[in-house]
Amino acid sequence: MSVIDVRKAITRAHREEWARVVAALTRHFGDLDIAEEATAEAFATAVERWPADGVPANPGAWLTITANRKAIDRIRRENKRGAKQKEAQLLYDDAPPEPLGAIHDERLRLIFTCCHPALAMETRVALTLRMVAGPTVPEIARAFLVQESAMGQRITRAKAKIKAARIPYRVPPAEDLPDRVSGVLAVLYLVFNEGYLATGPGTDPVRHDLTAEAIRLTRLIRALLPADGEAAGLLALMLFIEARRTARVSGSGELVALVEQDRGAWDTALIAEGHRLVRERLAAGVAPGRYQILAAINAVHTSARDVRDTDWSQVVALYDQLVRLDPSPIVALNRAIAVAELDGPEVALAAVDRLQDKLAGYHAYHATRAYLLRRLGYSQKSRAAYDKAIDLAGNTAEIAYLTRRRDQLG
């Protein structure tokens, strides 16, 4: 096996096995620090040994065994085995598990541990994204639009808080699930987005392993809480986006914008399932939450056979509803894109420019400005905005798309 093939195997194993190994070690040792560091050391060992020894037949088992040995070695090195075993009781829970029917998944336990209400919401999301999806701290920092050092401190403090608060490693009992689910859904949405908008050198434009895992875990949450509207809404939203995955990137690896996608290539089964979930929530007669509104927006888009058939007034109305629940600058940016189709690019550009202070470091802000300036005929300003978007974008497919659009300006 060539060096390139070994590297690909290691990358694939990291995507597929990181969360499983971290969860297994957390269950065994009851310490997130030990689990994370030993897992990272196991992958570092794989980088050293697999090129010479070959990729093992079962990479997951090899990594789990290696990480387990690394964890034991660390405990012995510190000569604090008794103290570590005592600390382990802070997380390890040997009580009989709550009856969950067919639902039993170590990664689900890991998510609920990291999403405990003793932690701040932003901390829950960052920690679980690190533990479950395995992106680096710099990658998570980019997703949150914060400094790398601040994100590192946030994750470190979260793990310390889990020990101090004696948070057990388990899925909470049924009566506590409704209060715990919002943080878990936020994490799963970010895991999904990390796969759908993957960044970093040599990164695949869409990481199907992450999107599939996020959908799988969201299905588990929905099975745990079938009446929870936001669980259903998030699942529908993911299904709508996943349905367009194969049409989103061209054969040459370039992003294909929604308006240019071949709608005949969309997965009709996933779209139909998403629409059923949206209709069920509408029939429930309960005020929708953030994910349900986002799912409804995507339902409008996927209902149109052609982009020209899109009901933009309905899309803007849904965004108006969403802004009242989530007045974030990114929601406002997405609303402006819909406004451009309904009221024209000049109105939309004025709304986008008001977001400059909050989104100056966000590539999609500059890409949106470039698109609107282009429609208004301001070629030089549009080119400058494209240049800024290209500098900030981390996804190879988006960079290729933005570069082509910029170069078309002449």
Q: Which class for 227: exposed (0-12), middle (13-18), buried (19 or more C-beta within 10 A)?
A: exposed
Q: How far apart are CA 163 and CA 273, in angstroms?
A: 41
pLDDT of 309 reads 94
Average pLDDT over residues 117-138: 78
**What are the backbone dihedrals phi and psi of residue 81, each rounded to the nearest 5 degrees, phi first?**
-55, -45
Q: How far apart are CA 214 and CA 173, in angstroms?
A: 22
Q: How far apart are CA 126 and CA 136, in angstroms?
A: 11
pLDDT of 99 reads 42
Q: How many other CB atoms are found less than 10 A from the CB of residue 381?
A: 15
Is the pLDDT reported for residue 4 higher than 70?
yes
Q: What are the start-end ranges of the H helices in 197-260?
A: 208-224, 229-243, 245-248
Q: Summarize pLDDT for 218-227 with one digit per residue, the tens.
A: 998 898 889 9
pLDDT of 94 reads 45
Helix (H, G, I), strand (E, B), or coil: what is residue 166? Answer: coil
Q: Is 253 left (phi over 0), alpha (psi -120 to 50) or beta?
A: left
Is the pLDDT reported for residue 118 higher than 50?
yes
Distances (CA, A) of 244 to 241, 247, 267, 338: 5, 5, 7, 19
pLDDT of 345 reads 97
- What are 223's two structure tokens? 């099975």
3-state helix, strand, coil in the chain (%, to 5): 75, 0, 25
Locate tokens 């093992």: which residue? 56
Which residue type does 113 have? T
Write down how long the chain is. 410
Predicted TM-score (pTM) of this structure: 0.75
Which residue type does 319 have? Y
Q: Is 364 left (phi over 0), alpha (psi -120 to 50) or beta?
A: alpha
Q: Summarize pLDDT for 29-83 with one digit per residue, the tens.
A: 878 888 889 999 999 999 999 998 999 999 999 999 999 999 998 888 876 555 5
Structural contact between residues 369 and 385, judged by C-beta atoms closer than 8 angstroms: yes
Structural contact between residues 378 and 408, judged by C-beta atoms closer than 8 angstroms: no
Q: Summarize pLDDT for 243-287 with one digit per residue, the tens.
A: 999 899 898 889 999 989 999 999 999 999 999 999 999 999 899
pLDDT of 87 reads 53
The third-level CATH classification (topology) of the domain covering 3-82 is Rna Polymerase Sigma Factor; Chain: A (1.10.1740)
Task: Tell which residue, 273, 351, 26, has the closest CA to residue 159.
Answer: 26
pLDDT of 48 reads 93
Give bridge partners of residue 249 from the DSSP assignment. 255
Q: How far apart are CA 321 and CA 300, in angstroms?
A: 15
Distances (CA, A) of 176 to 98, 104, 158, 180, 248: 12, 17, 21, 7, 39
State the average pLDDT for the chain. Answer: 86
Q: Summarize pLDDT for 136-155 with one digit per residue, the tens.
A: 788 777 767 678 888 888 88
Measure the CA dihedral 192/357/374/256, to 10°.
-10
Segments making up each domain of the chain, as ranges: 3-82
The 8 Å CB, 24+ separation contacts for 138-143 are: 139/194, 139/199, 139/200, 142/199, 142/394, 143/190, 143/193, 143/194
Structural contact between residues 241 and 225, judged by C-beta atoms closer than 8 angstroms: no
Helical axes 148-164 vs 121-128, angle rounded to 10°: 100
Q: How many other CB atoms are found less than 10 A from the CB of residue 54?
A: 11
Of residues 253 and 374, which shows the higher confidence score?
A: 374
Distances (CA, A) of 394 to 92, 205, 234, 245, 288: 38, 10, 25, 18, 33
